[in-house]
Amino acid sequence: MLAARRIEMPVHTGDAERGPLRRCIASGASLPITSLVRFVADPKGTIVPDICNALPGRGLWLTADRAMIEKAATKQMFTKAAKRNVTTGPNLVEQVEGLLKRRCLNHIGLARRAGLVAIGAEKVKTQIATGLTAALFEAANGSLPERQKIFSLAPHVPMVDLFTSAELGAALGRETAVHVALLRGGLTRTLLEDVVRYAGLRRKN
């Protein structure tokens, strides 16, 4: 979405590239797994989020949307979908939000180690000039005019402003980071998909 010359969350890639479909237990819609959050019941019957889609057990899928997960937790939709008694913790939405945020920041760190990242306004501008930039990350507490300047150089590149300069800095092994750009690659695409999921879970101020 574009508002005041800034993008708050990146656009999705094409559905054909986003993997198999799964049914959301709350809405009934069949969606790509990149738009969903998987849950499983642990041996005690407690519902736990499976952000990486790796835990054993039958997957219960929900749209990556805060209201949708709250609805499923309060309306006993997990029990209905699992066809057995299960329980959810009192802070399930916050748990998912925190896990997705951590996953996004971890991927930013992995992208740096893979040589995909430019940090700082001048290095970001240099990378943009190559035409290979696939994502821009701007600190949420940074200057909006500065974000607009960066965006004007690459208006079709997704810009994400969901993390603070301290959070971006910690992910990149420095004290702070305000302007960050990522080159194209599978890791960058996965990061953008996770950012979209995180944006759907993030509590609006």
How far is residue 159 CA from its own chain's centroid?
Answer: 13
Lookup result for tokens 């101020």: 205
Positive or negative: CA dihedral 50, 65, 17, 154: negative
Asked whether the beta carbons of 78 and 60 are under 8 A apart, the reply is yes
CB within 8 Å of 170: residues ≥ 6 apart: 105
Output the pLDDT for position 90. 87
**What is the mean pLDDT of the segment spanning 166-179?**
97
Domains 15-90 and 97-201 belong to one CATH topology:
no
Beta strands in 56-152 (DSSP E): 60-63, 117-119, 133-138
Output the pLDDT for position 180. 98
Domain boundaries, the chain: 15-90, 97-201
3-state secondary structure of 88: coil
- Residue bearing the bigger pLDDT, 73 or 11: 73
pTM beyond 0.75: the answer is: yes
Lookup result for tokens 């995180």: 198
Q: Which tokens in the block code for residue 87?
A: 């329980």
**pLDDT tens-digit readout, 50-107:** 999 999 999 999 999 999 999 999 999 999 999 999 999 889 999 999 999 999 999 9
Count of residues for the chain? 205
Output the pLDDT for position 7. 40
When the pLDDT of each residue in the chain is averaged and rounded to a whole number, the result is 90
DSSP 67: H
- Residue bearing the bigger pLDDT, 57 or 15: 57
DSSP 16: G
Look up the CATH superfamily of 15-90. Answer: YlxR-like (3.30.1230.10)
* Residue 12, pLDDT above cutoff 80: no
Q: Cα–Cα distances in Å, from 145 out to 130, 138, 142, 205? A: 23, 11, 9, 21
Asked whether the beta carbons of 142 and 178 are under 8 A apart, the reply is yes
Output the pLDDT for position 46. 95
3-state secondary structure of 11: coil
Asked whether the beta carbons of 190 and 184 are under 8 A apart, the reply is no
Host H or E run for residue 106:
helix 92-113
pLDDT confidence tier of residue 17, bands split at 50, 70 and 90: low
**pLDDT tens-digit readout, 124-162:** 999 999 999 999 999 999 999 998 999 999 999 999 999
CATH of domain 97-201: 3.30.1330.30
